[in-house]
Amino acid sequence: ATTAAFATVRPPLAAAVYGLAVFGAAGAEAASKLKGPGHIPQELCDALYRMDAKLLKKHAEIRLEKV
């Protein structure tokens, strides 16, 4: 779903890169707040909900180069 959201405004490869970067950043943020394995789904959902430019910059670096 994250990649599909980017696919509406970007070419397929860029959409995949951006979608995975956002999901990866949310995973890193969620991992920093975990209290135990049962909390993974809710922390991941919360991190995706709170995702903004600042949080993305903290956990991801996106560079697309033309091949």
pLDDT at residue number 67: 63
pLDDT at residue number 63: 78
Alpha carbon of residue 53 to chain centroid: 11
Q: What is the CA radius of gyration of the chain?
A: 13
Going residue by residue through the chain (67 aa), what tens digit of pLDDT does each one get? Answer: 889 999 999 999 999 999 999 999 999 999 999 888 888 999 999 999 999 999 999 999 887 777 6
pTM above 0.85, yes or no: no
pLDDT at residue number 18: 92
Could you please report the per-residue DSSP string of 8-61? TTS-HHHHHHHHHHHHHHHHHHHHTT-SSGGGHHHHHHHHHHH--HHHHHHH--
